[in-house]
A and B are shown apart, each in its own frame.
Chain A
Amino acid sequence: MPTSPSDPHRDASGEHAVRSGAGVFDLVVIGAGPAGLAGAVAAGELGLRTALVDAAELTGGQFYRGPSPALGARRPEALHHAWSAYADLRERLRHCPAVSHLPGHHVWSVVRDPGHADRWTVHALTGPDGTDRAPVRLAARGLLIAAGAVERHLPFPGWTLPGVVGAGGAQAMLKSGLVLPGRRIVVAGSGPLLLAAATSLTAAGADVPALVEATGYLGYARHPGALAANPGKAAEAVTHGGALLRHRVPLYARSAVTAAHGRQRVEAVTVARLDRRWRPVPGTARRIACDAVAVGHGLIPQLDLVTTLGCAVRPTADGTHAVATDRSLATSVPTVWAAGETRGIGGAAVALAEGELAGLAAGARLRGAAVPPARTARLRRRIARLRSFADAMAAVHAPGPGWPEWLTDDTEVCRCEEVTADRVREAAADLGARDTRTVKLLTRAGMGWCQGRICATAVACLATRYGASDAGPAPDRRPLAAPVPLAALAELPAESGPKTAEPT
């Protein structure tokens, strides 16, 4: 996405470095996926000086992730659904000089400006993987957090073998890099993303010898109201289903990949039937040859920034947390709004509507912009309808309590620190770790490079199963939303003035 040439925050070298004092944005939107993009455009069109910040080179987030322009894709939409909504927004962004799109910005923290209580400071690292030596600070009067989601993973023996990848990861690598992890790819886990993944993988030339879904698809039938209110979603599912039928993809419902086999890479998987509690049913295991596995159990909201900001969260229908907001999508922290997956997993359509609503709300609050009530009301109705469907889906695809039965003692639960299920059990059952945090402390699960973003769900489930945790786990505190070089921290400008000391 080109940034508007009139962007006042771009310095002469073309860098996006906005030093303190160089300007204050009305709104910094964090995340340029459907929610953030819609929010930035809505706010920008109301005249708010807006920064749209994202780690990626292109807007679109994960849902509308597209190939780099250098790949010269004439039909990027061929691997996507509902592309036109994105194309429209992208075009509006191009014609909205109030919005500065700042790609390659990895936000590592957002804090209250120590000098101005009504301002925020957004700290970001720059470069494709956040290692450029040009850290950036943005000043903002308001924030829209549209940080998206990460995939939920449940470990199984062999899941660390090369060739076993996230279903979302396979999609991302395909959409952005036009590559596949193998030619014969088992798609497994739970949730609607699996259908989309299997469809695009087969369209791109892969064989999918098994689509393995832990629930029965019949689960949707229990929520006919929500489904009826979302004919678009039903149509999408039918489209995927049709595509899979054409490609003769075998469907295994109420089943799971309970092990992956291979030496240097995956060569086969074991697929077993599950009972209602997701326990493998003895005698049902079958071996399926493959050279890759795309696996995932839906998405969980990315809450690093909102948790650090102190925004209130709420439990979701599928046992995770999402940020809580009012009906204008304001969080519990004044001048911080949230939209899209951060508010709970809902998909691109709800993210688009929420981003727009949050952008309008920020415009009204920060600039006193007049927003036609009918527009707001229409968005609220749409959000309510889409959210009820999403909640129903989330409940259907929530992991059953019996999945740990497919683990072996030596199954690695934490990929970074290579912590096995047995060590998690020991910490929870024998060493007095009553909550996930203490399990992590005692085992190092979740203490590595990813800081538990991949294993937190599994560690929490296991901790509970083995006797820990009396209360529902709160979202992890991660004051650093991305790894930061010590030099980048050391080179930050010093804050002047003494810190306020506690009166004693």
Chain B
Amino acid sequence: MVGAACAHYAARAGLSVTVLDRGPVAGGTTGAGEGNLLVSDKEPGPELELALHSSRLWRKLAEELPAAIEYETKGGVVVADDATRLAALRSLAAAQSDAGVDAREVSGGQLRELEPHLADGMPGGVHYPEDAQVHPALAAAHLLRASGAEVRCGEEVTAVLTAADGAVRGVATASGARLLAPYVVNAAGTWSGEIARMAGVRLPVLPRRGFVLVTEPLPRVVRHKVYAADYVADVASGSAALQTSAVVEGTAAGPVLIGASRERVGFDRTLSVEVLRRLAERATALFPVLGGVRVIRAYAGFRPYLPDHLPAIGPDPRVPGLVHACGHEGAGIGLAPATGVLTAAALTGSAPPLDPRPFRPDRFPDPCAAPDRRPR
């Protein structure tokens, strides 16, 4: 998705763009996610600014792209299940409001009006009307097609070519092709660290695994993206250990999607029954009506995680011509348009619409010391 957005905005800026992917379109994290375009789960700061800008760009894209991308401004509802969490949520929402987010506190009674199947006894929550959703794979495919870029799927980059002065000259691929270009954009998601390594720099992108449960097709049972207040804390945590919080939402096609788990276990797709148990437990606690609903599919995806939870966007000062657009963790679909715009600005030398400095790709200390040794 991020690559498609970069291609789209770069091509729109008049550049000639070729997109390479070793797999199919949406073959990585894009195809494994729910397609969230969220402002609600972000604390005030650079990521929220990126999300707010993206939110506006998505509204425009939804007008330009076919309805098949299933863009829906369904809104998010964050639910607190006790007074302590509600207080924390309230202060987060207040800070978000100050940063320009439309965040509306709702009482327990109003929660049930928003989500009639929500469990009894929830003291309150916050409604975020700006949260939206797309079908991530279809959105990426249609955006890529609309970009007009040359798309070469199934073509794996095996080397980043550099000139004697160290500047990027292009890439070589597994088929033996050499594509020459003054700029290479690294939008390889969870695998971006490898591309960076090919260019001789370190970018500590790590996979953070998540499982999603997909239910049988249902009518609209859940109207918004609904999640428990502890989700925000899980997103912001750097722990490698398993964290689960309920994230429940319906889809245009019928199934309800249930997340979200986070754990750093490498690229291991092995089914974890414990993760499924926790997701089911938390989802049925929010929506007891789902207890009798069957899960027909479960799958794992890998979020491209950087230690400070911010993406790497922009030129890499260590390798002239190398531009990164990666490391969006679980928010890549939502953050893609603004990332694409920032990338296009970097490529054309035009003024960026927001401050790109917090996303500097060389912000991580290079020594081999582990980037993430926070106590758990």
Residues of chain A having any CB pair with chain B under 8 Å: 109, 111, 114, 121, 123, 308, 310, 417, 427, 430-435, 437-438, 441-442, 444, 447-449, 451, 468, 470, 477-480, 483-487, 489-490, 492, 494-495, 498-502, 504
Contacts and interface: CB of A to CB of B under 8 A. Distances in A.
B237 interface: no
Interface stretch (B46-54, B85-93, B261-269): B261-269
B372 A499 contact: no
A448 B23 CA distance: 24
A464 to B, nearest CB: 13
Interface stretch (B162-170, B195-203, B287-295, B337-345): B287-295
Interface string B19-53: 00001111100010000000000000000000000
Contacts, number: 155
A469 to B, nearest CB: 9
Chain B facing A: main interface SS: mixed
B291 A310 contact: no
14 contacts: A111-B270, A432-B145, A432-B151, A437-B31, A448-B217, A451-B297, A477-B269, A480-B296, A483-B216, A487-B292, A490-B280, A490-B291, A494-B274, A501-B376
A431 B296 CA distance: 26
A111 B273 contact: yes
B295 A484 contact: yes
Contacts of B142: 431
Contacts of B352: none
A441 B31 contact: yes
Given A431-B141, A448-B217, A489-B295, A479 B281 contact: no
Q: Closest 5 CB pairs between A and B?
A: A489-B280, A432-B25, A487-B291, A501-B240, A434-B24
B331 interface: no
A495 B151 CA distance: 46
Contact of A502 (B23, B151, B266, B273): B266
B274 A447 contact: no
B329 to A, nearest CB: 15
Given A432-B145, A447-B255, A483-B216, 19 more contacts: A111-B271, A308-B271, A431-B141, A431-B145, A432-B144, A433-B24, A434-B154, A435-B24, A437-B27, A447-B297, A468-B24, A486-B280, A487-B291, A487-B292, A490-B277, A490-B281, A490-B291, A499-B241, A504-B372
B211 to A, nearest CB: 9
Given A434-B153, A499-B263, A504-B240, A479 B141 contact: no
Contacts of B283: 486, 490
B370 interface: yes
B206 interface: yes
A478 to B, nearest CB: 7
B344 to A, nearest CB: 21
B24 A502 contact: no
Contacts of B137: 438, 441-442
Contact of B253 (A433, A444, A449): A444
Contacts of A432: 24-25, 141, 144-145, 151, 153
Interface string B242-269: 1000000000010100100001111001
A438 B142 CA distance: 13
A498 B284 contact: no
Given A486-B280, A504-B264, A504-B370, A433 B292 contact: no
Contacts of B217: 448-449
A109 B295 contact: no
Interface in B358-376: 370-373, 376
A485 B276 CA distance: 11
Interface of B: 23-27, 31, 137-138, 141-142, 144-145, 151, 153-154, 206, 213-217, 239-242, 253, 255, 258, 263-266, 269-274, 276-281, 283-284, 290-299, 370-373, 376
A337 B209 CA distance: 30
B284 A490 contact: yes
A220 to B, nearest CB: 39
Contacts of B240: 501-502, 504
Contacts of B370: 504
Contacts of B154: 434, 470
A449 B291 contact: no
Nearest to B152: A432
Nearest to B215: A486
A489 B216 contact: no
A459 B115 CA distance: 37
Nearest to B291: A487
A314 B332 CA distance: 36
A122 to B, nearest CB: 11
Given A310-B270, A501-B240, A487 B297 contact: no
Given A486-B280, A499-B263, A479 B294 contact: no
A100 B235 CA distance: 47
Nearest to A492: B277
Contacts of B291: 485-487, 490
A308 B268 CA distance: 12
Contacts of A427: 141
A494 B242 CA distance: 13
Nearest to B4: A432
Nearest to A433: B24
B265 A479 contact: no
Contacts of A431: 25, 138, 141-142, 145
Contacts of A480: 295-298
B25 A438 contact: yes
Nearest to A308: B271
B25 A498 contact: no
A502 B239 CA distance: 10
A489 B263 contact: no
Given A433-B25, A441-B137, A502-B264, A483 B294 contact: yes
